[in-house]
Chain A
Amino acid sequence: EDQVTQSPEALRLQEGESSSLNCSYTVSGLRGLFWYRQDPGKGPEFLFTLYSAGEEKEKERLKATLTKKESFLHITAPKPEDSATYLCAVFYSGGSNYKLTFGKGTLLTVNP
């Protein structure tokens, strides 16, 4: 059973059309939630870490927020260069170990 679910799987926006990506999780013992951007043929590029509910982080047109069950990546007035796959990952204490689980990603396409 998926512990980290990203939605939607794919999102197509017009340039300037703001929207949000969702990352929901069912793990307990959250230690951190990470957002990454991945361009085709490249490795994931780190964007943000969120540690506790209510926390927000911003970078250019991106803002990440965190609640007790999900995180949102808000994209304000996106540009074509924001097109990429966005991944979230949940870092949590699983028994005696720490674990990191990735979602399957949201493919964002921004049309000019």
Chain B
Amino acid sequence: DAGITQSPRHKVTETGTPVTLRCHQTENHRYMYWYRQDPGHGLRLIHYSYGVKDTDKGEVSDGYSVSRSKTEDFLLTLESATSSQTSVYFCAISASGREELFFGEGSRLTVL
């Protein structure tokens, strides 16, 4: 199994509060991704990183920011959480960005 750890695995928070999700990998892969998964939708890309300090937006990036200060860590931040951000968030990694992704176990976020 790919060495990907997400934390926290579950979080309940209130509207307007900041939230940070962490993804840690032990595979030394260059590419890291944050996806959200919601009923009725496929996995949707929020942001991705192609190297330390190199990030780019995905299709649903509004309200989210990311940071990558080390190869192994990729943080997703909701500056002011809203109920529409209630979702399951998955981190994924790939070696070159041109092959299959490997996913973490997910972080379930509930915004009340």
A-B CB pair tally, cutoff 8 Å: 45
Question: Do the beta carbons of B42 and A43 come within 8 Å of each other?
Answer: no
Task: Contact check, B103 vs A104: say whether CB atoms are below 8 A apart.
Answer: no
Nearest B residue to A44, CB-CB: B103
A108 to B101, CA, bound (A): 22
A contacts with B, residue count (CB < 8 A):
22
Q: Is A24 an interface residue (CB 8 A)?
A: no
Given A42-B105, A42-B106: A32 and B99 interface contact (C-beta under 8 Å): yes
Assess the B101–A43 pair: CB atoms within 8 A. Answer: no
Q: Interface residues of B: mostly helix, strand, loop or mixed?
A: loop
Whether A87 touches B102, Cβ cut-off 8 Å, given contacts A43-B90, A44-B90, A98-B97, is no
Bound-state Cα–Cα, A42 to B45, Å: 18
Closest chain A CB from B87 CB (angstroms): 14
Q: Across the interface, do A49 and B42 meet the contact criterion of CB distance under 8 Å?
A: no
Give me the interface of A with B, judged by CB distance under 8 Å: 4, 31-32, 34, 36, 41-46, 49, 87, 89, 91, 98, 100-105
* Complex alpha-carbon distance, A62 and B98, angstroms: 24
Give the total of B residues in contact with A, Cβ under 8 Å. Answer: 18
12 contacts between A and B (CB under 8 A): A32-B99, A42-B105, A43-B90, A45-B103, A46-B102, A87-B43, A89-B101, A98-B98, A100-B101, A101-B42, A102-B43, A105-B42
Q: Are A49 and B106 in contact, CB atoms less than 8 angstroms apart?
A: no
Within 8 A of A (CB), among B49-101: 90, 97-101
CA distance in complex: A47, B6 (Å)? 21
Contact (A100, B45) CB under 8 Å given A32-B99, A42-B105, A46-B100: yes
List A contacts of B104 (CB < 8 A).
43
Q: In this complex, what residue of B is CB-closest to A6? A: B42
Nearest B residue (CB) for A48: B100
